[in-house]
Amino acid sequence: MSLNLTPNIDAPDSFYQALIAAHEGMSEEESHAYNARLILVLANHIGDETTLREALAAANVKGTQ
């Protein structure tokens, strides 16, 4: 399995709204903990270590913010 960086979410705006809503009422610390749990849930779903390492590298690209 290789990392898919092509847009692949049917309704990205809707998902983004749901993600933001999931953080409502959380402190910064709670929000960070939630993000960590979400990352681990999604990493478990992917399951392939090579793909996960590709994702780590892709997310670490400097100057893309």
What's the confidence (pLDDT) of residue 13? 97
pLDDT of 40 > 80? The answer is yes
Residue 63 — very low, low, confident or very high, per pLDDT cuts 50/70/90? low
Phi, psi of 37 (to 5 degrees): -65, -40
What's the confidence (pLDDT) of residue 64? 55
- 46: tokens are 């992917």
- Give the DSSP letter of residue 60: T
- Give the DSSP letter of residue 12: H
- Cα–Cα dist 26/35, whole Å: 11
